[in-house]
Structure 1
């Protein structure tokens, strides 16, 4: 009998989400948002209403009148965990850059917020602190001195990480937005910078959609980060490769998502897969449920892949044999050859 991933005894998938998916979502046209304002505590409640999530990625600071203890109680009440804390270093206050901004006081403010996030993560029992330096980059040629930008980006996060050697940190890379060019742009560029940072407790979040946007193969990027010992978390969504659309997982790139889940299986990933969704016009609960349903169905298909046959085809670089294997697992039918 051909060996498949069903025989590995791997537990079923579990899922987490980003709290932003359940709040007011805005863009540069509907600047007043596509829905009402949603409080920190209400986002936790809505997330729990999906019935599919075990934890949340929490943006910090919370609402001014909400304490860390309030958040902990809300999470406990709704049976959710804090997966990680993401300090908000990408809003208007950091519009010229957080760790890489030209103003030293602003850079120090970003570092201070990173230290605060560590304390919040400890209080809530979060697994790691995530940095998404969405303002750390530039927009025009000649706008910045690249060595200085590089030094500030690496030293800012590196200084926080070295101050808290027992805490895990992750950087979520992205090619662009809100800056036209972000420093932490691709898996390879980010891994190189992390290695030069010299901090063993810093790794990457590999976001499927960000990898598509960067014209990467998401499964390859995931494998690369893991091979370097720098994979901290995994996020899933979908897009048209031109923008970070954050559509429901599996809505566009089925084969690439299947390969991504296949790599997740080969890594024996045990943490919840995180959904990074922006349901501008959809009910966020429905968006989560549809994403989970699609990923569970694709994971079932990934489990059907005959590993020995697939590996043999890969060793030969036999594209058509691999395509037959994938097509049969995904669509059914017979894996016939001429």
Structure 2
């Protein structure tokens, strides 16, 4: 088995609310409690942590103590530029003061990345975009998106900034809504430290092939990170990785292996009603089977089938490798 590192967003171990269960699906947890739960997961080595830290006032030192206690590192820091303060957008907010506030918050998060020795600042500008026709000047909106990211990257050339794209939610149309649009924006920015975090669920939710999207991001040297989960394609359900689309997820990881991409295999799941530790363990067990399947894949036969565009033979090879790995 190859030497893998598994990670998870710390929100995997939080509790959740939605517009129906406004009292939540469990008692609230703070970030320290979430880290202690993450520490119970087999083979988890890193977490992605929201900033500001949720559930109370905590110092970097307190977070580090909890991480050390649980033998966990930090892969990234996700500044919360999608909360009520930014309901009209972060980079694209019509108020320049709010845009500056987003810049300052992300700059603070960049300092936390340095302090924790993490790999990147993750940008998920979920409120950037629009909801109705004629609501925005599309040219101005896109310019503000690119200027906001570009300014951060140029001011912090020692850090990586990853953009996690998504078609919609909470905005009806998000500015960074697809692999192609995000990649075009990054190339327009033109800085080497801006890349993509490819969320498998966001890709298939948007009608993409996650494998094809990964290949394109790699071809442009912009695949800096990834998340895995699953959904029914009509919404970003954040279900357990491999629960619905195992063959497509297998192809996604095949593309990563083929291109010698060796980043963290990161979970972005929302176990509303399930036990969060058991859910993470189950997902990682599946990802280990994926890795065994990749080792068993008959690459020579697959290459020949792909050269011939022979769908049935290629599927037979992939299914035998994956399902035989359990």
TM-score, normalization by structure 1: 0.93
Aligned to 2:5: 14
Q: How many residues align?
A: 323
How far did 1:329 drift?
2.0
How far did 1:72 drift?
1.2
Aligned to 1:152: 144
- Residue deviations 1:47-97 (CA, integer Å, cap 9, x gap): 011123101000001144201111111111110001101100001110010
| Residue 121 of structure 2 corresponds to residue 102 of structure 1 | no
- Residue of structure 2 aligned with 1:267, choices 252, 259, 263: 259
| Residue 52 of structure 2 corresponds to residue 89 of structure 1 | no
- Residue of structure 2 aligned with 1:281, choices 250, 273, 279: 273
Aligned to 1:69: 61
Tell me the SS of whatever aligns to 1:66.
coil
Please give the alpha-carbon distance, in whole angstroms, between the structure 2 residues aligned to 1:295 and 1:68.
Answer: 31
Aligned to 2:26: 35
- Residue deviations 1:188-234 (CA, integer Å, cap 9, x gap): 11000010012110000001100010100011111111110001101
> CA contact under 8 A between 2:128 and 2:175: conserved in structure 1?
yes
1:112-261 residue pairs with structure 2 within 5 A?
112-261=104-253
Tell me the SS of whatever aligns to 1:169.
strand
Please give the alpha-carbon distance, in whole angstroms, between the structure 2 residues aligned to 1:328 and 1:172.
Answer: 32
Tell me the SS of whatever aligns to 2:266.
strand
Please give the alpha-carbon distance, in whole angstroms, between the structure 2 residues aligned to 1:320 and 1:269.
Answer: 27
Tell me the SS of whatever aligns to 1:49.
coil
How far did 1:251 drift?
0.4
Tell me the SS of whatever aligns to 1:299.
helix
Please give the alpha-carbon distance, in whole angstroms, between the structure 1 residues aligned to 2:262 and 2:251.
Answer: 17
Runs of 4+ in 1 over 4 A off after TM superposition: none
Flag the structure with more relative contact order, 1 or 2, with Cα contacts below 8 A and sequence separation at least 6: 1
Please give the alpha-carbon distance, in whole angstroms, between the structure 2 residues aligned to 1:67 and 1:98.
Answer: 25
Aligned to 1:78: 70
1:287-306 residue pairs with structure 2 within 5 A?
287-306=279-298
Please give the alpha-carbon distance, in whole angstroms, between the structure 1 residues aligned to 2:240 and 2:319.
Answer: 22
Aligned to 2:319: 327
- Residue deviations 1:20-43 (CA, integer Å, cap 9, x gap): 111121112112211111011111
Runs of 5+ unmatched residues, structure 2:
none
Residues 331, 273 of structure 1: CA spacing in aligned structure 2 closer, same or farther, 3 A cutoff?
Answer: closer
Residues 282, 331 of structure 1: CA spacing in aligned structure 2 closer, same or farther, 3 A cutoff?
Answer: closer
How far did 1:147 drift?
0.2
Please give the alpha-carbon distance, in whole angstroms, between the structure 2 residues aligned to 1:115 and 1:330.
Answer: 43
Tell me the SS of whatever aligns to 2:197.
strand
How far did 1:331 drift?
4.1
Tell me the SS of whatever aligns to 2:256.
helix
> CA contact under 8 A between 2:289 and 2:322: conserved in structure 1?
no
Tell me the SS of whatever aligns to 2:45.
strand
| Residue 37 of structure 2 corresponds to residue 46 of structure 1 | yes
Please give the alpha-carbon distance, in whole angstroms, between the structure 2 residues aligned to 1:130 and 1:86.
Answer: 5
| Residue 22 of structure 2 corresponds to residue 25 of structure 1 | no
Q: Aligned Cα RMSD in Å?
A: 1.2
Please give the alpha-carbon distance, in whole angstroms, between the structure 2 residues aligned to 1:218 and 1:72.
Answer: 34
Runs of 5+ unmatched residues, structure 1:
1-9, 333-338
Please give the alpha-carbon distance, in whole angstroms, between the structure 1 residues aligned to 2:315 and 2:80.
Answer: 43
